Amino acid sequence: MRREEPLAIVAGSGALPALLAQAAQETGHPVVIVDLDGEADAGFGRCEVHTLRYGEVGRFLKLLEARDCRTLVMAGGITRPSIAAIRPDWGAVKLMPRVARILMGGDDSLLRGVANLLDEHGLRLVSPLDVAPHLAAPGGLIAGPEPSARLLADIDVGRRTALALGDTDAGQAVIVDAGRAIALEGLEGTDAMIARAGALRTDGRWRSPPRSGVLVKAAKPSQDMRLDVPTIGPDTVLAAHAAGLAGIAVQAGRVLLVERDRLEGLAAERGVFVWGVS
Amino acid sequence: MRREEPLAIVAGSGALPALLAQAAQETGHPVVIVDLDGEADAGFGRCEVHTLRYGEVGRFLKLLEARDCRTLVMAGGITRPSIAAIRPDWGAVKLMPRVARILMGGDDSLLRGVANLLDEHGLRLVSPLDVAPHLAAPGGLIAGPEPSARLLADIDVGRRTALALGDTDAGQAVIVDAGRAIALEGLEGTDAMIARAGALRTDGRWRSPPRSGVLVKAAKPSQDMRLDVPTIGPDTVLAAHAAGLAGIAVQAGRVLLVERDRLEGLAAERGVFVWGVS
């Protein structure tokens, strides 16, 4: 990004949009926040915030044009709107045939379709990792205690499993204990998968000493980092701790750490390691 | 197996042990049923049934010796006993150091350990598929309606995903819809995974027309079929139907069909296909 060039942040929930806003401002970019239907949390300081409803595509394009903003980043969680909640404006109606075709595909093709659509309007979608590269997980120990050799072996099994899964467009995370996959992420998401592993331990189907098992999270080999960056944060540490896991391993450079200070504090306090796999 | 040679069936719950007993008798083998702590269901006709408690290893070995029985098959579900429920007899105590070492490994190494242990006592463990090869899934349409080209494409994605998972000692089953993995089996088992996919559909996170999504179940490439044959039956069809799936695909020759008549009837009645992937 050219210095002084404005950046639009399409903001969902969580701390990441505000972290990106801060990073962009610190490197000299004016920031326009587009809050999707009230999904965004507070914390944008003095940034300009516009709340748009799902479907207000025309308004969105006009807003960016008025700010001479040609670069945007999408970040944060969104509750997928039901079709009924979408109120298409004229700008959206014009795009309907395209959007309908995009919606027919899976998650990945949907996201790629959106990126192509933006491209046709002269807008460039960048990755949160482009805006704030310092948020990417480093290799080695990130927080908490040093993992044992046994846990490093589990991390390696998890890395290979996540890789095998990634090639088939499945989830990005797996929980491994003593070389065995305890839980694999599908559509339910990482948090629900961690909770499932915790329940398997509680009901005795996963028998293991406390503080065993590692969560391994990676990007798909083909993942488009502009559209969907795997992320962990303090909540992931709390969830891992609640499920009795020993720690969390993430793919270095391709998984984003949000609220690193809080993450480090919690990891140390709860004795849960966070490790970057290079 | 030599004709007239007796066969011991270590029986857990479900219909499979009785199906094996029937198949063995029809091919001229006297059958001894070993019911594990009351896990076995009824239906063994005039076969000899002995109920042994977990841990009665000495009694088990003596029983087989008295019947001149050197071949055994294990089948059916078992509730894994808690350590407290195991009452080791002297035969078990002698094997304790070995058993302890076996228990330290994962599921696979546990089963392999048991097989090696039996081998040392001159006992040969065979696969349910050796006893009743006609129970193996054939290729092509097994029951219910013919799957569409779109569903066959999902089956292919599932087959590749299950294969990728198999190499990493994870589960054996996956649910795929429109090319995407909705749910992947870990330690929770196939039934719980199917229920999870159903819940994801109900709560709107998996958006899809009714009767879409396929369950694909396969053996691991390295799976020891003597110890753990993947199985489907009428309950699998009911679970798939309840989760709104279009059908079930199984690896031909390596997945076992129990109660095929009932399975076929239910598949036709509910409009759920069952397909064998060659």
Is the Cβ pair B165, A167 closer than 8 Å? no
pLDDT of residue B85: 63
pLDDT of residue B108: 54
- Shortest distance, CA A23 to any CA of chain B (angstroms): 32
Written as one string, the DSSP assignment of A5-59 is --EEEEE-BSSHHHHHHHHHHHTT--EEEEEETT-S-S--TT-EEEEE-TT-HHH
Integer Cα distance of B45 and A10 in angstroms: 69
Chain B residues with a Cβ under 8 Å from any Cβ in chain A: 80, 82, 105-108, 157, 160-161, 164-165, 167-171, 174-175, 178-188, 196-197, 200, 204-207
Q: Which residues contact B84 (CB under 8 A, 6 or more apart)?
A: none
* SS3 labels along A59-104: HHHHHHHHCCCCEEEEECECCCCCHHHCCCCHHHHHHHHHHHHHHH
What tokens were used for A253? 């450079």
When pLDDT is cut at 50, 70 and 90, the band that residue A275 belongs to is very high
Integer Cα distance of B61 and B54 in angstroms: 13
User: Residue B63: which of B49, B83, B45 has the closest Cα?
Assistant: B49
**Average pLDDT of the segment spanning A237-265:** 96
3-class SS of residue B136: strand
Integer Cα distance of B186 and A193 in angstroms: 10
3-class SS of residue B224: coil
Q: Using CB atoms, pick whichever of A179, A196, A204 lies closest to residue B188.
A: A196
Q: Are A201 and A85 in contact (CB under 8 A)?
A: no
Q: What is the pTM of this model?
A: 0.81
Residue of A nearest to B206 (CA): A187
3-class SS of residue B237: helix
pLDDT of residue B109: 56
What are the backbone dihedrals phi and psi of residue A24, each rounded to the nearest 5 degrees, phi first? -65, -45
When pLDDT is cut at 50, 70 and 90, the band that residue B84 belongs to is low
Integer Cα distance of B54 and A111 in angstroms: 54
Q: Which residues contact A260 (CB under 8 A, 6 or more apart)?
A: A135
A93, pLDDT greater than 80: no
Q: Which residues of A touch B244 (CB under 8 A)?
A: none
Percent of chain B residues topping a pLDDT of 90: 54
What tokens were used for B250? 């199984």
**Average pLDDT of the segment spanning A69-75:** 91
Residue type, A26: E
When pLDDT is cut at 50, 70 and 90, the band that residue B261 belongs to is very high
B166, pLDDT greater than 80: no
Q: Are A34 and A58 in contact (CB under 8 A)?
A: no
- Quickly tell me which residue has 């969105």 as its tokens: A60
- Shortest distance, CA A250 to any CA of chain B (angstroms): 18
> C-alpha B154: how far from its chain's center?
23
pLDDT in tens, B118-130: 788 888 889 999 9
Residue type, B163: L
The sign of the CA dihedral A140, A146, A148, A151 is negative
- Which has the higher per-residue pLDDT, B103 or A235? A235
**Average pLDDT of the segment spanning A3-19:** 90
Which of B63-67, B183-187, B273-277 is the most confident on average?
A: B273-277
The sign of the CA dihedral A129, A195, A176, A235 is positive
Q: Which residues of B touch A190 (CB under 8 A)?
A: none
User: Residue A49: which of A16, A9, A19, A87 has the closest Cα?
Assistant: A9
* Lowest-confidence pick of A96-105, B58-67, B188-197, B207-216: A96-105
When pLDDT is cut at 50, 70 and 90, the band that residue A87 belongs to is low
What tokens were used for B118? 């039996």
Q: Which residues contact B25 (CB under 8 A, 6 or more apart)?
A: B31, B47
Integer Cα distance of A172 and A161 in angstroms: 9
When pLDDT is cut at 50, 70 and 90, the band that residue A39 belongs to is confident
pLDDT of residue B195: 96
Q: What is the mean pLDDT of chain B?
A: 86
A83, pLDDT greater than 70: no
Written as one string, the DSSP assignment of A115-170 is HHHHHHTT-EEE-HHHH-GGGBPPSEEEESSPPPHHHHHHHHHHHHHHHHHHTTT-
pLDDT of residue B83: 58
